[in-house]
Structure 1
Amino acid sequence: MKLILVAIIIVALADEGISDRSKIDPRLLSRKSSETSNIFITFHNGTEYTIEHTGKSLFPGRAEKITALHDRLREHANHSQINVIAYLQRREKGPETKFQSFWISNEVFVKDVTMDDITALAKLQEVKFVSLEKVILLDTIDSGNITLTTFPGVQWGVTKIKAPEAINLLKTSSVIASQVVVGVIDTGCRYTHETLRYNWVGEYGWFDPYDGNMLPFDLNGHGTHVTGTICGKGGIGVYPDAKWMACRGCEGRTCSQSSLASCAQFMFCPTKADGSGSDCSKAPMIINNSWAGPGGHTWYDQYIAAWLAADIIPVFAIGNSGTSCNTAGYPGDNILVIGVGGTAINDQIYSLSSVGPALNGGLKPDVSAPGVDVYSASHLTDDLYTTKSGTSMAAPHVSGLVAILRAYNPNLSTADAVTYLRQGAETNLVSSGQTCGGKPDNIFPNNHFGYGRVNAFKSLQSLMYASTPFRCLTAGIYVNSRNCRKYYKCVEIWGKLYTFDLTCPPWSYFHKDRKKCILGKCT
């Protein structure tokens, strides 16, 4: 009888949640029982399978693909989250319970919950983890230099990365440039500014998860400045022909996880400003994220995975934690995104630009761009301009550059974009003599500059060259400069030249001088 009683007590204690403490963020466990917290609930059944399975299907175009992903992710979330949402709906506070389902990541955000609620939610079998909401701090440096002018002319960063030359090359090519939309997750944007008023996308181009404002605005200035650098007119923007859309992921100098999640979901499948009428065909091609938290995390990975599946290229600032090794910020340290460091006008690394390697050992940043004393649009009036410094200012230079590349080839993947950024990057930069991860900052790639400081003209040249098919002019055997295992054979048959694209056998490569395949690795 005593043995049975002991067994019952053990089962009861387990049912009280003792066995579920491993599913609760330690920061929540350390809080008083009377305190309330904002939490994120993740599920064992994540989004990986849904994304992978949808990616194996064929669709007529990008819009149809994103719409299918959207529908399947919503269906998956509805099924996975049913018990959690039922619990939240029947809490004693009833309709006052504030929670939000995120289908893009299969998570639920809940505001102001007690420890009793957290314990009860953690008991549900499908719940993987309950974490405290994270808050990111914006740490851009303002110079205080605000000036009144009309279209200030081409800025040093735009000139440094040779954006005007790249745009001229794009316009004189035989390819008709595609319209590119760049999404900006930031503090908002002053959409009436003289440099930005004509290329806002309009409807489906704004969402404010904090206050629900119906038109773009910016109380901080960070987002307006960033957007201006991407595509502002009058010389401040890298690619003024791009259109922009924005989501207010940051309020003041902080960015809450729930708002950044809302913006990630909005960018994947945009809605009208009131959250209605979703239309996935309006998704941007690039998303600029000029914010960063401590490195080594994973909490934004599900959103990034969804963006990549939707052919959206994510660009992130690497952070402003100084030039000590292993300071690269998250999500910029994620190997699947383009992490951007900052440089000065003399091509020296910005003194606060975070440095790799990432905590996972990966090389970061990927590339660097102008980030010191960058002059761009101010949020205060429609004709004011201001100067800011930080990797927040470097990232939009890269987003604008990638917009140029996608204008030439709208089907460009993130991996392709990284390839052409690397190929075009400048490496004749000013060394600080530092070494991180065993890589001196004057040997490229390294953990200070990445593959180098970006050059829009060279990157576009590389893309255009790679996009041009090889043409035989005379009979013979020719090197394929894009792949050392391949070569071309031009054969004349009845007066006509025919091109054969050939590949060497495994474990061999094409020797350019001997004009034949030989054993060995590509060099």
Structure 2
Amino acid sequence: MRGVRTFFRMAAERPPTWQIVVTVLAGVWATALAAAGPVVGYLADQYFAVTDGDHASGGWAVAATLVATVLAVIPSALLGWRGHGSVRPFNRAWVLALGASAVLALPRLTPVPYHEFYLVELALLAAVTSRYLRRGTRLADRPWRRAPALAGGLAMLLPWAWLGALGGPTETVAAFLAALAVGRLATVLQHRVRMDGSWPRRVLLTGLAGIPVVAALAGSTGLPAVALVLLAVLPLLAFGVAALRPGSGLLIGLAAAGPLAFLDPEEVSLLLGGTELLWTLLGAALALGIALLVDAGFGATYGRLAPPPRPVVYLVLLVTAVAFGTLYVGPGRPGFHGERLFVVMSATADLSGVAAIPDRAERLRETYRRLVATADSSQAALRKGLRGLRVGFTPFYLTNGLEVDGGPAVRAWLDRQPGVRKVLNSPRLRPLPRPPGTERGTTTAPVGPQWNIQLVGADRAWAETGAQGAGITVGTSDSGVDGRHPLLANRFRGGDDSWYDPWNGTTTPTDHNGHGTHTLGTAVGDGGIGVAPQAQWVGCVNLDRNMGNPAYYLQCLQFMLAPFPHGGDPLRDGRPERAPHILTNSWGCPSIEGCDNTVIRPAVTALTTAGVYFVSAAGNAGPRCGSIDDEPAVSPEALDVGAVDRQSRLATFSSRGDGPSRRAPDVVAPGQGVLSAMPGGTYATLDGTSMAAPHVAGVVALMWSANPALIGDIARTTAILRDTARPATPTYRSRNEECGGQRYVIGAGLVDAYAAVRAATG
């Protein structure tokens, strides 16, 4: 009879097979949908970053998380309240975890640049949710039992201590608090699916049931890029949590703290070329491997075997802590590498009458003197206050402003100071484990004038007018220049004030990216690749890793107005009489990098007033109308250049205007399939309006070389370029969309070097 009763009792306790199957599928479904929010948010962010130069609204990720939560919660909700008693706890825990993930996703509505605020909001919501869900639940958590979880958590931090870098102090503290709060919440929720009994039941089944719980929380922790890393690592630790139980919140919390604190979500981006993304993937792979070891170690020692003695536990903790410290201080990047702030002052320099000064050197000196005097006088009180607070800063004069160290507290103080017009973000890329490798070209060396040189008529201008740019200096602000390239080396101006690298501090022309070498080669390169092969050049690095900020861009533009010697003070040691005649600028500063029209535009105005010709790439956001929307291309004084192909047809990617209210290209030049120099004496064919802009800088060099009386006459030079331009073929997305007319698509047409030089000397 006892055997019969046992059989019927076991039959009554066993849920129907279909409910077991549905429960398993519901767990898999919930785990899969947990990734929907960060995946959609990340893809949207990448799309808007590439096309508009800005972050996607956090609403994309929040909406995706909410929709995924509703879809994932339906089967679990049905079984959680209507299912068999043995499957009910799992489904209820998953429903609660999915609900908690929807709550944790809400802080993503905070704009991306305000990461500290996002982390504080996440920490508060996780702590409140954990407190609410813990009511009526006892979690045994004796202090000494936290040591294994602490050791496991520190082990999970090892890859990030080696490969990552911390942000600012406030950001770092907030990241650890948020991570620990999420870890505590994960422990509370996984406690609801805890099983007692033998090792397989207690560890394996509890771990499997905990995966959807941890996955749901991981998908809502951090901005989308970081959440994807957490999704790849944290769910596996559900087995370690199941084995540990007491103190396991530290394990999940510290594992989450690695990506939250050591990764900048803005840098895990395709926009930067993929180098940062590759290091992140390596860190995630190492963390995943450590998670497997942690699960195996905890599963064996706290599951199948007797718990190790306390001295052994403390020894493992000590070894792990030493390993973390060694990696962080040794091959890691110790210290804080947070964002900075850029303060724009209200006062502007009076440059009236400067453009009328006939002597070029005196015109430049007077511009420099007035700008520096205005900066010194209007910033004096603010500089004194920052010194008193022991807050570091760098003053600027070309745009009256300062780059300031500090986070939210410093921003709040700056906003209250008199004379401050605006406080912007000045993003700083965190250091990498190893600098990116130098880009090399794979195209054969050029022979004679290339098609693009012939298309703009530069070769004809050389032959029939003799103008090749002699006596003119072109300045480039870009990724750098390979100063030893055979087609560029002989044209470097030389001296201690012709090269400036605020990124890496190099004292001789260097380029790892290749973009700057390529663009400069088109302007002044020898061997048939450059428009003005006898012009000299000076250079500055403003975009070493494809993401700049207001300070880097202004540092280079200040150097172009008043070059200074290595280690010199831009406000005291500038030599304006050594300024280059023409600037080629194949870069843009979108809002994602902290710029608006109060930062770069005043600098372009001052340079133009001083008589320096400013050429800018229109951008590569076409064929959308109104796609010229970043500084310096939107500055009225800049000459914007669109790109055409061999048949003088506007390139599809070339940005264009949108009627009288929007900036339009002034002229177009070859920008598709352009061959030019690359680092290491190599060559490559590249596309972009970046390739088009230096053609026009080279044409201006030919014009001013042929007629020195035209030097500094910005208006007359621009008029000649427009009047002598040849027809080009506009392209549209459809017959009905013409962006306001041909003028707003191709400007005055294709620049003509021969006709422009003849007109300049006429």
Instruction: Using structure 1 for the length normalisation, give the TM-score.
Output: 0.74
Rg comparison, structure with higher value:
2
Deviations 1:467-506, CA, capped at 9 Å, x for gaps = xxxxxxxxxxxxxxxxxxxxxxxxxxxxxxxxxxxxxxxx
Relative to 1, partners in 2 of residues 1:278 and 1:245: Cα closer, same or farther, differing over 3 Å?
Answer: same
Provide the residue aligned with 2:483 in structure 1. Answer: 191
- Equivalent residues of 1:346, 1:430 under 8 A apart: no
Change over 3 Å in CA distance of 1:221–1:73 after alignment to 2: same
Q: Does 1:262 align with 2:560?
A: no
Work out which of the residue numbers 169, 179, 197 in structure 1 matches 2:471.
Answer: 179
Kept in 2: contact 1:144–1:387 (CA 8 A): no
User: Which digits, 9 at most, give the CA deviation of each residue in 1:236-261, with x for residues without a partner?
Assistant: 00110111111001112222221111
Is the alpha carbon distance of 1:372 and 1:428 closer, same or farther for their aligned partners in structure 2, counting shifts above 3 Å? closer
Contact 2:361 2:577 survives alignment (8 Å): yes
Q: Quick one: distance in 1 between partners of 2:636 and 2:370?
A: 26
Give the superposition deviation at 1:134: 5.9
Which residue pairs with 2:455 in the alignment?
160
Contact between 1:191 and 1:200, CA under 8 Å: does it hold in 2? yes
1:26-105 alignment, distance < 5 Å = 31-32=116-117, 34-35=170-171, 37-47=339-349, 49=350, 51-52=351-352, 54-55=354-355, 58=357, 61-91=359-389, 94=390, 97-105=391-399
Structure 1: gaps of 5 or more residues: 1-24, 137-142, 466-523
Partner of 2:690: 392
- Counterpart residue number, 1:19: none
Is 1:447 aligned to 2:741, yes or no? no
Report SS of the residue matched to 2:442.
strand
1:347 and 1:53, CA in 2 relative to 1: closer, same or farther beyond 3 A? closer
Q: Which amino acid aligns with 1:337?
A: A
Question: Do the aligned partners of residues 302 and 78 (structure 1) sit closer, same or farther apart at CA in structure 2, a change above 3 Å counting?
Answer: same
- Asked if the contact 2:440/2:678 (under 8 Å) is kept, the reply is no
Q: CA deviation at 1:362?
A: 4.1
Q: Higher helix proportion, which one?
A: 2
CA distance in 1, matches of 2:377, 2:635: 29
What is the DSSP-based 3-state SS (H/G/I as helix, E as strand, rest coil) of the residue aligned with 2:587? Answer: coil
How far the C-alpha of 1:147 sits from its partner, in A, is 2.8
Q: Which amino acid aligns with 1:103?
A: Y
In 1, the alpha carbon distance for the partners of 2:577 and 2:714 equals 19
| Structure-2 residue corresponding to 1:14 | none
Matches within 5 A, 1:356-505: 356-357=657-658, 361-379=661-679, 381-382=680-681, 384-410=682-708, 411-412=710-711, 413-429=713-729, 431-432=731-732, 433=735, 435-439=737-741, 441=742, 446-465=743-762
CA change 1:127–1:198 in 2 (3 A) is same
Deviation at 1:53, TM superposition (A): 5.4
- Residue in 1 aligned with 2:643? 342
Q: Using CA pairs under 8 Å that are at least 6 residues apart, name the structure with larger relative contact order, 1 or 2.
A: 1
Q: How does 1:97-246 map to 2 (within 5 A)?
A: 97-111=391-405, 113-133=406-426, 146-149=442-445, 151-171=446-466, 179-203=471-495, 204-246=497-539
Q: State the alpha-carbon separation in 1 of the partners of residues 669 and 355 from structure 2.
A: 33
Separation of aligned partners in 1, 2:516 and 2:558: 19
CA contact (8 A) 2:628 2:656 kept: yes
Equivalent in 646, 656, 661 of residue 355 of structure 1: 656
Deviation at 1:117, TM superposition (A): 1.3
SS in 2 for 1:108: strand
Deviation at 1:222, TM superposition (A): 0.2
* Stretch moving more, 75-84 or 250-259: 250-259
Using the TM superposition, give the Cα deviation of residue 389 of structure 1 relative to its aligned residue in structure 2, in angstroms.
Answer: 0.5
Question: Relative to 1, partners in 2 of residues 1:135 and 1:239: Cα closer, same or farther, differing over 3 Å?
Answer: farther
Q: Is the 8 A contact 2:650 2:728 kept in 1?
A: no
Are the counterparts in 1 of residues 340 and 428 from structure 2 also a CA contact under 8 Å?
A: no
**Alignment partner of 1:321 is 2:616:** no
Cα offset, 1:28, TM superposition: 6.4
User: Take 1:228 and 1:351, find their aligned partners in 2: how far apart are those partners?
Assistant: 24
Which residue of 1 is the match for residue 584 of structure 2?
288
Deviations 1:110-156 (A, max 9, x none): 13x121211112111111111112689xxxxxx9961343x532111
Contact kept in structure 2, 1:28 and 1:131, CA below 8 Å: no
Could you list the per-position Cα deviations for residues 10-54 of structure 1 after superposition, in whole angstroms to 9, with x for gaps in the alignment? Answer: xxxxxxxxxxxxxxx98767742733531111112122x2x2254
Aligned residues of 1:213 and 1:273 also touching (Cα < 8 A): no
Tell which deviates more after alignment, 315-324 or 287-296. 287-296
Q: Name the CA shift for 1:428/1:211 in 2 (closer, same or farther; >3 Å).
A: closer
Between the aligned residues of both structures, percent identity stands at: 28
Amino acid across the alignment from 1:280:
P
Provide the rounded CA distance (Å) in 2 between the counterparts of 1:135 and 1:419: 39
* SS state at 1:260 partner: helix
CA 1:377–1:283 in 2, change beyond 3 Å: closer, same or farther? Answer: same
Task: Sort the Cα spacing of 1:396 and 1:31 in 2 relative to 1 into closer, same or farther, 3 A.
Answer: same
Are the aligned partners of 1:207 and 1:275 in contact in 2 as well (CA < 8 Å)?
A: no
Change (3 A) 1:135 1:417: farther
Change (3 A) 1:251 1:460: same
Distance 1:317 1:54 in 2: 27
Conserved? CA contact 2:623–2:656, under 8 Å: yes
Partner of 2:211: none
Aligned equivalents of 1:55, 1:239: Cα separation in 2? 26
Cα separation, 1, equivalents of 2:393 and 2:384: 11
| Contact 2:341–2:425 (CA under 8 A) maintained in structure 1 | yes
**AA paired with 2:698?**
G
SS of residue matched to 1:154: coil
SS where residue 640 of structure 2 aligns? Answer: strand
Quote the Cα distance in structure 1 between the aligned partners of 2:399 and 2:553. 12
Deviation sequence 1:291-320 (CA, Å, 0-9, x none): 124499412111101101210010000100
8 Å Cα contact 1:183/1:288 also seen in 2: yes
CA distance in 2, matches of 1:183, 1:206: 10
Taking only aligned residues, the RMSD between alpha carbons, in angstroms, comes to: 2.6
Shift of 1:86: 1.1
Q: What amino acid sits opposite 1:320 in the alignment?
A: N
Contact 1:191–1:217 (Cα < 8 Å) also in 2: yes
Secondary structure of residue in 2 paired with 1:407: helix
What amino acid does structure 1 have at the position aligned with 2:343? I
Q: What's the TM-score once normalised by structure 2's chain length? A: 0.52
Distance 1:200 1:293, change over 3 A: same
- 3-state SS of 2:447 partner: coil
- Decide whether the 8 Å contact of 1:369 with 1:398 is kept in 2: yes
Given candidates 264, 279, 290, the residue that maps to 2:575 is 279
Equivalent position SS for 1:448:
helix
Counterpart position of 1:471: none
Q: Secondary structure at the match of 1:216?
A: coil
